[in-house]
């Protein structure tokens, strides 16, 4: 069973991601907004894909606030986690923002919140997992 790490600070969005990924996708899901836990999990080899909220209000690393773009950049620049696909998730992107966020963070893809088309979202996740295999 593929393991998805969802990095989301809004509890309602986190629950929605978990339910969709577990029920429709059949994935194992871990929720976290702790930078230390996220980096440990991604570097351990136990995570197959990350869904990363762009705006993280409570995430800190060494006392510094860390947003999703910076955290994704850290994941993608570490040798043991660089190959893990990351999907950025945000409700605040305007046209063209997705491309610049992906370029800045090193993420593989982007999804707009809230997730409305669950089947399309699951297909997006499965496609990235297949590419990474």
CA 133, CA 59: separation in Å to the nearest integer? 30
CA 68, CA 55: separation in Å to the nearest integer? 6
Would you mind telling me the total number of residues written for the chain in this entry? Answer: 133
Which domains are assigned to the chain? 6-132 (3.40.50.2300)
pLDDT band at 98 (very low <50, low <70, confident <90, very high): confident
Average pLDDT, the chain: 93
CA 82, CA 77: separation in Å to the nearest integer? 6
- For residue 24, pLDDT beyond 80: yes
| Low-confidence winner among 1-5, 84-88, 110-114 (lowest mean pLDDT) | 110-114
Query: What integer pLDDT is reported at residue 97 of this predicted model?
Result: 78
Better-predicted residue by pLDDT, 101 or 49: 49
Beta pairing partners, 6: 31, 51
Its pTM stands at 0.95
pLDDT in tens, 72-89: 999 999 999 999 999 999
């Amino acid at each position: 069973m593929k393991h998805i790490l969802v990095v989301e600070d809004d509890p309602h969005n986190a629950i929605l991601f978990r339910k969709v990924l577990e029920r429709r996708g059949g994935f194992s899901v871990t929720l976290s907004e702790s930078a230390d836990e996220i980096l440990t999990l991604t570097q351990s080899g136990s995570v197959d894909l990350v869904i990363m909220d762009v705006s993280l209000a409570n995430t800190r690393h060494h006392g510094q606030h860390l947003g999703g773009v910076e955290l994704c950049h850290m994941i993608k620049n570490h040798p043991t986690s660089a190959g893990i696909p990351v999907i950025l998730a945000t409700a605040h992107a305007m046209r063209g923002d997705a491309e610049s966020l992906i370029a800045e963070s090193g993420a593989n893809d982007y999804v707009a919140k809230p997730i409305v088309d669950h089947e399309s979202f699951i297909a997006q996740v499965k496609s990235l997992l297949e590419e990474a295999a």
